[in-house]
Amino acid sequence: MGFEYAPAPESRSIVDIKPSYGLFVNGEFVDGHGKSFKTISPATEEVLAEVAEADESDVDAAVKAARRAYEKVWGPMPGRERAKYLYRIARIIQERSRELAVLESLDNGKPIKESRDVDVPTVAAHFFYYAGWADKLEYAGRGADPRPLGVAGQVIPWNFPLLMLAWKIAPALACGNTVVLKPAETTPLTALLFAEICQQADLPPGVVNIVTGAGATGQALVGHAGVDKVAFTGSTEVGKAIARAVAGTDKKVTLELGGKAANVVFDDAPLDQAVEGIVNGIFFNQGHVCCAGSRLLVQESVADELLAKLKRRMSTLRVGDPLDKNTDIGAINSAEQLAKIRDLSEIGESEGAGRWSPACDLPTTGFWFPPTLFTGVSQAHRIAREEIFGPVLSVLTFRTPSEAVEKANNTPYGLSAGVWTEKGSRILSMANQLRAGVVWANTFNKFDPTSPFGGFKESGYGREGGRHGLEAYLK
Ligand code: TAP
């Protein structure tokens, strides 16, 4: 039985979007020297604001501001004092959480219930968590008096704009580094609101600098000689280019790249619960998730039953206005990403996989893609190998646990995996055999600041989160 939902839009009046934004350098908003660019709402294609582009000279000014702040203020400051700033930032994030959530949904296209209930609370949690470490770094496992690295150049993607910012900035600052961060071109607005929060927290000028722009700005940042540490989250392709660019320098690097996670369902799994985990694994955030469970591996004996349940559940997903509190699946972040999802889905069909989506009305403006699954997928299909980064699930089957392991690990990536079974011993055995940085058992896409996150193989190197996340920012 279906239900009709009355619209329940979150008001956008809480955010005050300025017509144009400068760069945040040395504690102030300044004009950029590059060509400014527009950021739009992917749900409506409405222009939200004009944003400055940082060229090489702007990046240079930001790195120099970060260096001064590192040497004169932030580096020498006792950890207990740095902690106070981080706690203050965390509390302001909580106080302004509705504003941050609405702005994130507007600029990114993700549903408000996700930005409100997952992204922003996790962002605050990261700042609280690393604030707690700032005066306890001698217990981080890096010696009695671990030192910061200096200036961190950080480049982040568009799928979790604020959360990726928090993953990068909170541990860097806790350890005594200063940062220059480049948000993604399509989602700069919440990083700029975060810059205002730094001002509100009286963070000393130059400790956090935000340079907006496109790939060239990111390239200028990671290539800058004054950057001691490069932290990048994004595609494997750009990650490789960055690794090449910093090879031979003494910069420290962490790379968090793509994924093609297997979500493995055994015949003894609680199937209704598994269906919720599969849906959360691939349709959360429109599937724009590096650790998305984009390959469902289901044991053959329960495949038909599970697929019937999954299709029924997918038919209840509501696609539409990101600001509506009932929405499950929002807009695809950009026309470019939509084209990529469409291309790979068409390739899936032409290679012989069976495509299915529930009936759903998509809005006529903006960028949309229905929740989609492919059955009859073989390991050779491109939709089983390549990261689609959209709401598209590839379903494969297996007969034995060793076949499941073999298929799950048959990927150049290794970021995450899921296991669904009622046997604890099987969970442990699978977790030991799966080559993935995170293995979830009877759940999926759970994030916690105390837990390290990162990849194997082409999913990158280094860990973010937890005590391990400090290592990336300490000598
Ligand atoms: P990318 O195209 O790699 O972009 C990531 C960031 O790098 C953006 O800010 C981008 O700027 C910038 N950039 C582009 N070219 C650059 C260059 N040559 N040098 C330095 N910076 C450069 O990825 P995306 O499309 O934004 O994000 C999707 C990818 O990120 C997926 O593969 C996904 O799996 C991965 N991802 C991984 C994780 C983790 S934790 N492993 C988390 C989220 C996303 P522009 O915005 O202007 O392009």
Break the chain into its structural domains and give their ranges.
20-257+458-471, 262-448
Please say whether the dihedral angle defined by the alpha carbons of residues 205, 209, 211 and 212, taken in this order, is positive or negative.
negative
pLDDT digits (tens, 9 = 90+) for 42-87: 999 999 999 999 999 999 999 999 999 999 999 999 999 999 999 9
| Cα distance between residue 161 and residue 452, in whole Å | 19
From 37, 40, 59, 159, give the residue whose CB has the most ligand 1 atoms within 8 Å, as the site to mutate: 159
Distance (angstroms) between ligand 1 centre and the Cα of 271 equals 35
Domain 20-257+458-471, CATH among 2.40.50.140, 3.40.605.10, 3.30.2420.10, 3.40.980.10 = 3.40.605.10
CB-CB contact of 17 with 104 (8 Å): no
The residues carrying an active-site annotation are: 256, 290
User: Under the phi-then-psi rule, with left for phi > 0, alpha for psi from -120 to 50, and beta for the rest, what region is 423?
Assistant: beta
Q: Check if 241 has its Cβ closer than 6 Å to any atom of ligand 1.
A: yes
Distance (angstroms) between ligand 1 centre and the Cα of 235 equals 5
* Confidence (pLDDT) at 190: 98
Give, to the nearest 10 degrees, the angle between helix 79-95 and helix 161-174: 160
What's CA 87's distance to the chain center, in Å? 23
Determine the CATH number of domain 262-448.
3.40.309.10
Per the document, the length of the chain is 475
Q: If you take atom 34 of ligand 1, which residue's CA is the nearest one?
A: 258
| Cα distance between residue 452 and residue 189, in whole Å | 27
CB-facing half-sphere around the CA of 207: CA atoms within 13 A:
29
Instruction: Return the amino acid letter for 309.
Output: K
Task: Extract the tokens encoding 430.
Answer: 């699978």
Choose among 185, 188, 162, 195: nearest CA to 65: 195
Ligand 1 closest atom vs CA 415: 41
pLDDT digits (tens, 9 = 90+) for 414-469: 999 999 999 999 999 999 999 999 999 999 999 999 999 999 888 888 899 999 99
Q: Which three-class secondary structure state does DSSP give residue 453? A: strand
Distance (angstroms) between ligand 1 centre and the Cα of 259 equals 13
Ligand 1 closest atom vs CA 182: 9
Residues 6+ away with beta carbon under 8 Å from 117? none
Q: Which ranges of the chain have pLDDT less than 50? A: 1
CB-CB contact of 183 with 155 (8 Å): no
**Adjacent-strand bridge partners of 374:** 355, 394
| Cα distance between residue 39 and residue 359, in whole Å | 31
Distance (angstroms) between ligand 1 centre and the Cα of 337 equals 12
Residues 6+ away with beta carbon under 8 Å from 472? 171, 229, 231, 252, 254, 462, 463, 464
Task: Extract the tokens encoding 42.
Answer: 């992917």
Ligand 1 closest atom vs CA 222: 20
Q: Which three-class secondary structure state does DSSP give residue 460? A: strand
Q: Check if 184 has its Cβ closer than 6 Å to any atom of ligand 1.
A: yes
The terminus-to-terminus CA distance of the chain in angstroms comes to 59
Please say whether the dihedral angle defined by the alpha carbons of residues 257, 223, 227 and 56, taken in this order, is positive or negative.
negative
| Cα distance between residue 285 and residue 222, in whole Å | 28
Please say whether the dihedral angle defined by the alpha carbons of residues 134, 137, 139 and 141, taken in this order, is positive or negative.
positive
Distance (angstroms) between ligand 1 centre and the Cα of 257 equals 8
Q: Check if 158 has its Cβ closer than 6 Å to any atom of ligand 1.
A: yes
Q: Which three-class secondary structure state does DSSP give residue 354? A: strand
